[in-house]
Structure 1
Amino acid sequence: MTAQKEQTQTGELVVQHLITHLHGIHAVDSGYGRPMLAAIHIIVHNGHAAVVDTGSNASVPRVLSALARLGIAPEAVDWVLLTHIHLDHAGAAGSLMCALPKARLVVHQRGVRHMVDPARLWEGTSAVYGAERAFELYGRLVPVAPERIVAATDGLEIDLAGRRLRMLDTPGHARHHICIWDETACAFFTGDTFGLSYRELDVDGRAFIIPTTTPTQFDPAAMHASIDRLLSFQPCSMYLAHFSRVTEVERLGADLHRLIDTMVAVAQAARGEGVARHVEILAGLEQVVREETARQSWALSEDDALELLRMDLELNAQGLGEWLDSRREAAAGLVSA
């Protein structure tokens, strides 16, 4: 995105990393990784705002700039809502809360302790990326004072200046994941539960979807159930972290169900252990992308689609491998099923 005003294929107004949607919803390109990889959403209502997900510490200036453009003072941000605590979504929570003096942080009840003391969260992220790379991506994690945190239990409703937002417990991608129902917009903010939909794949404004099976808590049965629960609300649109608004929700939901089963089958067919198994799973996922490129007539070629999805495929393969290991441990009675 540039500093100039542009129109996207679906007509949203884009101004310097800020996309304006309907119903007072705005998407900020977080700057994570590459343009249009990760979105932070701002809901504006009656002069107040809620921020959905925070990106990394480097995203904070973009959020504050977007709020200023929208005419929202930091004191008028009532809520910061985390769909889950993976650091591309929650890495800046502590830093952003320091800049928003009256905001309260809503996070899944499993994630509260990690916002108060992010040490274990940092350890888990460093295990995936390596400590040096993790610091480059996310910076130093800042704790949040416990009195500013609201634990999101299933069905929790909060008020944004007269606008009702409802939290749903939606495991599958992670056990600490919530989706946020915005009745005013007839839409969900889905984090990673409703998959990835990158704008580079769009054809004439028609979006496509891919599941995210990243480490460490992927659970296909729970993900299927969470997707069905979201669809039962008959939403008009979904606001994804990767990347922002999609419509044709029923079609995309059906594709998610199909592709979750396909990816699970790839993992179950993989042989060997360790690196050999990972390489086989990754190759299988790459073949799924090739087939999907042809099936859906994506805007990108097979090679370009594989390059665009390279990081996601690597993480998906890791998550599928960890899921296989967890099932084996559960069957052996080493962990609870």
Structure 2
Amino acid sequence: MSPALTTPPTLALPPCVQPLPHGIYAIDTGFHRDVFDAAYLVVAGGRAAFIDTGTNFAVPRLMGALRALGLGVDAVDWVIPTHVHLDHAGGVGLLMQHLPKAKLLVHPRGARHMVDPAKLWAGAMAVYGEAEMQRSYGELEPVPAERVVESHDGQVVMLADRPFKLIDTPGHARHHHCIWDEQSRGWFTGDTFGLSYREFDTAQGAWIIPTSTPVQFEPEALQASVQRLLAAEPECVYLTHYGRVGGSVAEVQRLGALLLDLLAQTVALGRREQNNPQRHEALKAGQLQIFIDSLSAHGCTMPRAQIAELLSIDLELNAQGMAVWLDRPAA
């Protein structure tokens, strides 16, 4: 077996670190619950990059993964959040303080929020409230402007001799890019390619749904971004929520078709409920029913109450994001 496909037997990885093929490691950040939020560490030629970071509270896990792999802090060349929502980038500033040679590679619409996170903090606090912000995220640390590199569509950066290509992928957020790894034939997709919790895996494989959290959900743009990802014929997708899915071109295409179908159903729900005085609750209930019906067809026998519990955070945030979209003035 190729050394790139397995962890060297002498290394003892922490339980939160899952080795994947091609020198990629998924790190469970511990956000909200186990196997809910992942960051990725990619190693090539003795150099390393983090893709997404989780929150401040994930930084000890990220640094622990680096140490377990025998890599020093000077080995990290890049920190690349897929976008600047705090479950993906909340820990960037604190992590960068530990990595003296790393550059931050971020979408140009998100760069200013990494340098001065005051508006990012205020926007998130409007959604979650002060107590939840302190409990789940901690204070955001700024990144010095001279350490920030803004991405652009089609940009290629190198990790040792391994290329990574970045493309602009709006729809979930306008400050979102995805990262193509030619070696693994996989995309690091943040939230653009939806979320897939391992609790919902069945004999049919993984199950996946779109995420429409506040405040920049744009379904037409999201559909186009997903189709662009699929056009590369990826063999796998690295999700922040949660983990590596796929394993073949056909399996990723199946997941993409499911994602786009559920996106269309969600959009139709939003338009039906647009003027409902009880819209927020109707959007949550309608999404839950769409997802339960889909899970039933997927062979999932989990009780309704358990499904609702596992999706409770997403149902709430999706409904909030859909409301912003529905109330946005027509262009």
TM-score by length of 2: 0.93
Distance of 1:152 and 1:293 partners within structure 2: 37
CA shift digits 1:208-254 (9 cap, x unpaired):
10100111000110001000100111111000000010001000000
Distance 1:204 1:14 in 2: 29
Does structure 2 retain, via aligned residues, the 8 Å contact 1:200–1:300?
no
Equivalent residues of 2:14, 2:64 under 8 A apart: no
Q: Does 2:242 correspond to 1:260?
A: no
Asked if structure 1 preserves the Cα contact closer than 8 Å seen for 2:218 and 2:325, the reply is yes
Matched residue, 1:50: 49
Provide Cα deviations, 1:18-75, integer angstroms capped at 9, x if missing partner.
0000000100000100000000001000111000011000000000001111111111
In the TM superposition, what is the alpha-carbon distance from 1:14 to its structure 2 partner? 7.7
Contact in 2 for aligned 1:200/1:299 (Cα 8 Å): no
Distance 2:185 2:287 in 1: 33
| Structure 2 gap segments, 5+ residues each | 1-11
Match of 2:254 in 1: 251
Alpha-carbon distance in structure 1 between the residues aligned to 2:228 and 2:14: 34
> Is 1:312 matched with 2:322?
no
SS class of match (1:171) = coil
Counterpart in the other structure of 2:159 = 160
Quick check: 1:201–1:299 contact (8 Å CA) kept in 2? Answer: no
Contact 1:289 1:306 in 2 (8 A): no
The Cα shift of 1:299 comes to 5.5
Deviation at 1:204, TM superposition (A): 4.0
Residue 131 of structure 2: aligned partner: 132
Structure 2 residue aligned with 1:321: 323
Q: Hey, what does 2:231 align to over in structure 1? A: 232
CA RMSD across the alignment: 1.4
Task: Verify the 8 A CA contact 1:215 1:315 in the aligned structure 2.
Answer: yes
User: How many aligned residue pairs are there?
Assistant: 316
Partner of 1:78: 77
Cα 1:141/1:67, change in 2 over 3 Å = same
Aligned-pair CA distance for 1:302: 2.4
TM-score when scaled to structure 1?
A: 0.91
- The structure-2 alpha-carbon separation of the partners of 1:163 and 1:213, relative to structure 1 and needing over 3 Å to count, comes to same
CA deviations over 1:88-127 (Å, ceiling 9, x no partner): 0000100000001100000000011101100000000000
Determine if the alignment matches structure 1 residue 118 to structure 2 residue 114: no
Report Cα offsets for 1:241-282 as digits up to 9, x if no partner. 0001000100000001100010011111115466x2111111
Q: Distance in 2 between matches of 1:86 and 1:299?
A: 32
**1:1-337 aligned within 5 A:** 15-204=14-203, 206-247=205-246, 248-270=251-273, 272=275, 276-298=278-300, 300-326=302-328, 329-330=329-330, 337=331
Aligned 8 A contact 1:181 1:187 in 2: yes
Q: Unpaired runs of 5+ in structure 1?
A: 1-12, 331-336
